[in-house]
C-alpha cells in the first residue's frame, strides 16, 4: 500500500531462510520477518519443511496481522523460508503473496524473492509456450516454475542453470524438503547475509539486523553469484556464476531502505547516513537555527549535518509509524489532512526559527510541500530543505517502486522549479560525488535512478503490472 502521504521509494520485500534442528523454525521465521517489516507491508508468508513434506501459510497484511499462534503451530519442521512483500512486479493482491510453493518431479519446492528480473516477460512467455500454467502476475513465480522444469542432478545444479538465464536483481530463499538455499544475483543488487545460530543451524536474511534478532554470529554477506546451502552439514558455498564487473549494489539501501543497524558491503548503514549529512552540510551550508530530520531514515543524516555545521539538532516532527500501514481507508475529511495524519510538529522546537529540514529523497514531490507547510504553520520563519541524494530522474527496474519516468518530479522540473513547487526558502540536493564519497566507494553501486545509466539494458516502457494484461 502506498498512501498519498508517503513519497518515499518502496523496496520490494524482505526474505529470510532458516535451518534450525529441534527449534520452532516457524516462530523464528516470524520474528525474523518482523525485523524486516520495513521492507514490505502488503503481504507476508512462511513455508516450512520437515525432511519429507512442506507446508505454508501466507496472506495479505502485516506480519503480525497475517500470523497467529494457531497458524504458526501448524507449520512444523527444521527448515523455513519467509517473505514480506511490497509489489514491484505484480499488483498487491493475495495471489502474488510469497513464498510460491509447488510440487515438482524432484519433490516440493518453495521460493521467496527480493528483487526484479528485467527479462521476466520473455521467460514467462517461454514457460507459457511450453504449457506451464501461471497463477500470478509475479516474476517470482516465473523463477519458481523455471527451477521446477530445470534438469540437473541436484537443486544446486538446477538453481545454477536458472541463474544463467535470469537477468536483474534477485536475492532468493529456495526451500526444498530437506534444505534451504540462499541465492544472490551476480550484480549483488539487493543485500543478503548469512549467519550461524547459537543453538546450531544457520539463517540467512535480507538484512543483518534480522539475523542478530535471531542471535546469529559469524555473519557474512552472501557474495554476488553465490549459492549458500543451509542443511545438516556446515554451510556449503557454491560460486554458481562469477560476479559481474562492475557490481551494481543498490545505493538506495544505504540512503533509505535498510534499517540503520544494518551492515552491508562491510559498511555501517547508520554511519554512511551520518556521512551523507556531513557531506550535505559541506556542499550546501545554511544560515539556520535548528536542524530537524524527516523521521525515521533521515535522522542519522540530520545528526551528521548538525555535527558538521555546528547548528543544533532537534526533533521537529513526531511520526505516527502505523497510520501508513493500516488497511482502513481514511474518510474524505481525514484524507484532506494528508501528511498531518502521519506527522505532527513540535511547535516549540520550530517557532520563530530558521529550520533546515533533512530528508533522504524527493520522488513524486507530493509530501515535501505539505511537510514545509506544517512547519510554517507551526511558526517556522524559514524552511531550508536539504536532500541526502541527487535528484531522482529515472525509474528503477531492479526491485524498487519509484513509478514511471513521468511520475518523477525531478524528471519534469529543475531544482529551482521544485523549490517553488514545494514552497521552500531554499532546496539543495547532495551531489553524486558527495553521495558516493559518503558511501565510501564510487565503484560497484547502481546509480541509475540519478544518472539514467542502467547496469543492464532495460525496457523504459515496463510497468510493474505488465504481466497482468488479460489476467483478472
Q: What is the mean pLDDT of residues 29-35?
A: 97
446 among known catalytic residues = no
For residue range 154-200, list pLDDT tens digits in order.
999 999 999 999 999 999 999 999 999 999 999 999 999 999 999 88
Q: What is the mean pLDDT of residues 8-37?
A: 90
For residue range 311-326, list pLDDT tens digits in order.
999 999 998 877 655 5
User: What integer pLDDT is reported at residue 144 of this predicted model?
Assistant: 93
Cβ atoms of 262 and 272 within 8 Å: the answer is no
Confidence band of 469 (pLDDT split at 50, 70, 90):
very low
Q: What is the mean pLDDT of residues 90-109?
A: 82
All structural domains of the chain: 10-248 (3.60.20.10), 266-445 (3.40.50.2020)
Judged against a pLDDT cut of 70, whether residue 425 lies above it is answered with: yes
Q: Which three cell numbers stand for residue 305?
A: 549535518
Q: What is the mean pLDDT of residues 237-263?
A: 96
Q: Which of 13, 216, 389, 396 is catalytic?
A: 13
Q: Which of 219, 125, 232, 221 is nearest to 176 (CA)?
A: 232
pTM of the shown model: 0.91
Judged against a pLDDT cut of 70, whether residue 234 lies above it is answered with: yes
Amino acid at each position: 500500500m502506498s498512501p498519498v502521504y508517503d513519497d518515499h521509494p518502496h523496496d520490494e520485500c524482505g526474505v529470510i531462510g532458516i535451518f534450525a534442528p529441534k527449534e520452532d523454525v516457524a516462530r523464528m521465521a516470524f520474528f525474523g520477518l518482523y525485523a524486516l517489516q520495513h521492507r514490505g507491508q502488503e503481504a507476508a508468508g512462511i513455508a516450512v519443511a520437515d525432511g519429507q513434506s512442506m507446508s505454508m501459510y501466507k496472506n495479505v497484511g502485516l506480519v503480525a496481522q497475517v500470523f497467529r499462534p494457531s497458524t504458526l503451530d501448524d507449520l512444523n519442521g527444521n527448515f523455513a523460508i519467509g517473505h514480506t512483500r511490497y509489489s514491484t512486479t505484480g499488483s498487491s493482491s493475495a495471489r502474488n503473496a510469497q513464498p510460491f510453493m509447488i510440487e515438482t518431479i524432484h519433490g516440493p519446492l518453495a521460493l521467496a524473492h527480493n528483487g526484479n528480473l528485467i527479462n521476466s516477460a520473455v521467460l514467462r512467455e517461454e514457460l507459457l509456450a511450453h504449457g506451464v500454467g501461471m497463477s500470478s502476475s509475479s516474476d517470482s513465480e516465473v523463477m519458481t516454475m523455471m527451477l521446477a522444469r530445470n534438469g540437473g542432478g541436484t537443486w544446486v545444479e538446477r538453481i545454477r542453470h536458472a541463474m544463467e538465464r535470469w537477468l536483474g536483481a534477485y536475492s532468493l530463499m529456495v526451500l526444498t524438503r530437506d534444505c534451504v538455499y540462499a541465492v544472490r544475483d551476480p550484480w549483488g543488487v539487493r543485500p543478503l547475509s548469512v549467519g550461524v545460530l547459537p543453538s546450531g543451524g544457520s539463517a540467512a536474511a535480507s538484512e543483518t539486523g534480522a539475523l542478530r534478532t535471531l542471535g546469529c554470529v559469524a555473519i557474512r554477506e552472501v557474495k554476488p553469484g553465490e549459492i549458500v546451502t543451509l542443511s545438516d552439514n556446515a554451510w556449503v558455498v557454491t560460486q554458481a556464476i562469477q560476479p559481474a564487473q562492475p557490481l551494481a549494489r543498490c545505493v538506495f539501501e544505504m540512503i533509505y531502505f535498510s534499517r540503520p543497524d544494518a551492515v552491508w558491503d562491510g559498511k555501517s548503514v547508520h554511519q554512511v547516513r551520518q556521512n551523507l549529512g556531513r557531506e550535505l552540510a559541506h556542499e550546501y551550508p545554511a544560515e539556520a537555527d535548528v536542524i530537524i530530520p524527516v523521521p525515521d531514515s533521515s535522522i542519522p543524516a540530520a545528526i551528521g549535518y548538525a555535527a558538521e555545521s555546528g547548528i543544533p539538532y532537534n526533533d521537529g516532527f513526531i511520526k505516527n509509524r502505523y497510520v501508513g500501514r493500516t488497511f482502513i481507508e481514511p474518510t474524505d475529511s481525514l484524507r484532506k489532512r494528508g501528511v498531518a495524519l502521519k506527522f505532527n510538529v513540535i511547535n516549540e522546537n520550530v517557532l520563530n526559527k530558521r529550520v533546515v529540514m533533512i530528508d533522504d529523497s524527493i520522488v513524486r514531490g507530493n509530501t515535501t510541500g505539505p511537510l514545509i507547510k506544517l512547519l510554517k504553520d507551526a511558526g517556522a520563519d524559514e524552511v531550508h530543505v536539504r536532500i541526502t541524494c541527487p535528484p531522482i530522474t529515472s525509474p528503477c527496474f531492479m526491485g524498487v517502486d519509484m513509478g514511471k519516468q513521468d511520475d518523477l518530479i525531478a524528471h519534469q522540473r529543475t531544482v529551482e522549479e521544485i523549490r517553488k513547487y514545494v514552497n521552500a526558502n531554499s532546496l539543495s540536493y547532495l551531489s553524486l560525488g558527495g553521495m558516493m564519497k559518503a558511501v565510501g566507494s564510487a565503484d560497484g553501486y547502481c546509480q541509475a535512478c540519478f544518472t539514467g545509466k542502467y547496469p543492464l539494458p532495460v525496457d523504459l516502457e515496463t510497468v510493474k503490472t505488465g504481466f497482468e494484461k488479460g489476467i483478472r
